[in-house]
A and B are shown apart, each in its own frame.
Chain A
């Protein structure tokens, strides 16, 4: 029968399109006939109209227009709603949904290595995250239930194809809406990260909890932003984010983790002293220092070591700033901090963005931010609290990214560049953390820490690392291990901060990681 041949699966699609077009055309023609015929239907049996219905009709038209416009924002330009797209890609079973064919842009490292990509499998596009947990905290994830984080959120519109800015882009969106044939494709996103170094950093941290941040002082480009343990963006589950889980794999320790900075904060205190023209010595006796007899005495670690071995330690005596930094003398910096007082301390902390998170990137769909310093306003009479904060203990907390940023500022004549993850984001100065002369004076002192001070175990004449160790006490157990490194010491092109949670001495756990990473970076030609 002729009718049955029309519904033959091979021929039906054409017939269906014809019927569909015919129906829409017939409806349009019916509208045309209504327009033609309605003057012939004047309803003369009713009273003469005064047009009172026109205003009501106008209100109705407006209301329906609002509904239709809102509908169009889903139906026609739904691709500009990231969560909606994520929902459809995961939960919509309609094979013809264009969301399944949207090839979201790739995410690449600075050398063009692909970290994240979308691939068509069986008419569906799936998103793959190479190296899963290694880049998890940077690229983030997209999940219809848990939302989006990281750059997948921040750069969502760009990755989905971008807000059409130019006429050609609008034309592309228009064609897509009209035909639905063209496979929509997003834009690629280039990062500043070095995939090789990032992988190396995560491997160096191993099973330990911690973070590594490496950036270029001159332009703020982040080469490494690693946090362990990580998570695999392809396997997001409700069980991941348990608040009671101490591993907290979703927490980006590099940017969001806040830890007592310990002795690494002495770099900031040394800068404070240099800004005030400090050029004398401070007496650092074995019995330590306190602001009042009611408080325990602040002593140097040599005192405790001697006591442990049953010997006696005589104290440093009168030492200058260089020796104090190299030996990481607590007494020296406690006295220094108390000597300069609260006002000078807070003035510098404010310059370092204390209590003000730094926005790396932001868009309507998310922000990538880093925590900086967190410290309370102490009572001006609380000199002991100030002494403790001067050692990076007490009420003072800091993120690993902030330590790297402080190091970078020292290496860049005191100017901190805003850290950035996107290659195409232009470098931008964040602020003058220290004066150029302070930075210039500080660098040789930090170099001495590595050549003859607490970090001498990692010294390598070829790398010429400058830095500062940190061993931060805290209430929950073994001390956190810190290291801040700059290389090469004369004109640093790399600043690196390493934190190992409960790693013990900074020189033991954190410093070797920094050295290994700088070594690897030198091999990749990043140390010029």
Chain B
């Protein structure tokens, strides 16, 4: 055994394990499981790649088809698929604790569950940010480059708000997935709930007019106005029942509700 008067409590000072210590530990945990970190890469590759392809395909259309086209649309189109790996990441960070049994070690080390949860949410948000920021920025630049003479710069009207919105959209969805995983406590159950919601909303039912009155409120849909993905809001057939910032606010509400639900489950249940 190492030095230390056992009655005093061993390794040096006492005090509390503050949020900073918990955050450091959670960052280490994410960083040191390779399979989890790898789920972040496809967000960038897919997000940027699809935006680039979308830009290229618009640029090669006939002038007739290009009339009234929004150059910001292809910049964020890649996010509709690129968001999925980030959702998987958010779910795995939390649900992996339960499937691996690490949750027991976690709660023994940090028995205050609120602090434990806050550390995990913050660490996940930092990792999500580290991917979301370059994905949104590079995706935008790649799409504009692909658009050639139709492309716009960062100074174009609505570009900066949309970039900010894209970044927040990705981070919030990732945290929403974390909250769902904290409620369901299993990777399989969590993904079984999350992925259909995100596939159906974006890729499936979203374009059916009657159904859209409901699906427009799905968590991955509400940012679309801000991201110029929802079509021209001046046309009745695309117009949604909320504006760009209200839409983002709705996603914030979704995420907050999910995180709160996850916290309540973590606080109440035996680990």
> Does A associate with B in a complex?
no
- Where the two chains meet, the residues of A that have a C-beta atom closer than 8 Å to any C-beta of B are none
- Where the two chains meet, the residues of B that have a C-beta atom closer than 8 Å to any C-beta of A are none
